[in-house]
Chains A and B, each alone.
Chain A
């Protein structure tokens, strides 16, 4: 099964859930691949402590002028929907942070004077954390657009078998969509506060737009109100775990440890959650 752990709000506990679930699966003898798709701020490696075996740089295409071929038509500038290319006399200036790598300028040039070159925006790392296959994407600091990198790392899961767990970035815009679009089920992590509920609604909206099965976890479930729970019931979204605040979880987290290794009741919650996911996705792993 392919699960993406998402939320509207940041800081609800996506990485906590994703890393502990991956560890639990692998401990049960199931093959598990953990993909850290929160490429702006990836944190999974802090808890899974993978041995990195290889890394590759990830690039996007940007336009480049073939020497001597520009005849000053400026069709490239006209065609660009993002104001990313400026046509000067015999030269082009490309604003990399605006370029969407769409190729319109290449098509538009009547002289076939525009080619494409690779521009690096981040790194994808591959490794193993015990029995867990670990893949992580990291955006270079200073880069504006993260979505192509997230698409790139999540696409790697297409050819994989076994359980896949994608740790998504917060939010519901294009970066979160890219991280979750290939999943069988979205596991939405929320907290029982007005912020948590407000952003959970957005996350549910995203899940519905993507046509995904949904399940939810309420983290720090005893610190707030019951509105999230009522909302989930009304929306018929299965609540697969409620995790009360436990200082020991916070301590494990602060010490880069996996709570599932340290705390008995938490391991049981994760086990129950894992079982429910099997039922909800209609699969054995």
Chain B
């Protein structure tokens, strides 16, 4: 095949995905989908292997391949043109029940030539708590509707029995129906565009190009791995749930052109739904692997071939049924993602050529807050506070992390406007802004996270309820790199302000910080809570990890950081050793301060 035709087909495949994503967003009415971009669309070969990975949450690219393969196994002989299959069973392929996969075969002249697959986090799945994150569930049976594979659309006709059964089990069935419609529409567009591609170039040439594309990715990835030094790098992620501490341990080994991710030693599976199934962990480390190691390589099955995973059964990274997993996507999968990011970046940083691709961890916690209740119009409202998608960039070896710069597992994540959230829920924002001193210090600092506070407003029930699944309040989950500090942890406060309001002391309408707010501030991190009356919810997301020695940061950069509010004068002096007088660097005092810090470092005993 001539290289121009090959290149055209490759680009057309990616445009198929792009169009499908646009369609999905436009049909969806859900903020988590069309604002937060908690979605994914990808193309798969006839055997279910990944052909062209799209953007959205990258954890799903490889697990959706397993979803396609599971459907192929289950429905062998009963896969027809115009079918659409649903699976959301975490022990089959999905990450958790809320992330429904719709996979659809693509036929040309009666022959199966490819699959398209997509997911969204549906509005509700019928779990114990609205929205799908269920902190009190102790097994999968209380985490909502779950299917290892079911045919939703048969030869282009909706199966009403299947749809009605699913909708019968969920809250807000109209919104869930819209979620499913958006995914059916995305798959329809993918099928039509692929059909046009195959019509133009012929099924043999397109299939040949697809095979070449996968082989090309494998070859390019193996060549890159061979350029990197052999070695073994370790990472350790902690996370806290109530009074329990969990560890995800990773030892990543590179030998020649193969890479092994070994999670041996990770904590036993939890009673809480933060566990990962095998497929969630398998997808979890590909989220940083694709962009860090394969930013210029097509993301497909070729990238998977040099990779091995060891995830002991019965651990938080490979739990056994019926362990609960509703919070996997904000639980252990983030730790898998973070640990892999650290190990991959250490390996990259050991290479003169590829060091610039390394990064400290971004937005390690990825907590989630779901709200549910009656909105200001008396309608049922369920949904996520999208600020978690704002994230915080990890520092690179040559630059700061991007403030509120997103997160690695979702290159297109974003947050909703304040007005959108205020129109969806009966709340009003008191403030929302970047958080000073949240970025991990370093020669290059981590990006800041954000903080915000909301209070009930125009609420028929007096307020609303919310679910907090914010592990990462005790441990910082955004690890630093090569001497950089980890980013600041996330934090949540229930501000009990009704008493202050009754006594006429309430000032929260004008508050611009947590400290300025009236009311008792109770730290919370896990569970279902009310937001009623004059109370407020305060949320601070975690910062990104830093890179390198803070004492190596240019003093002028600190002056700018302080002027922008990213770093306080106190931290500039105490951690970075930079002394400012009226916003200007005092060179002599800075030199003396840094010398004192270095002297202090040498005054302790050696580590051995």
A and B: interacting chains: no
Seen from chain A, the residues whose Cβ lies within 8 Å of a Cβ on chain B are none
Seen from chain B, the residues whose Cβ lies within 8 Å of a Cβ on chain A are none
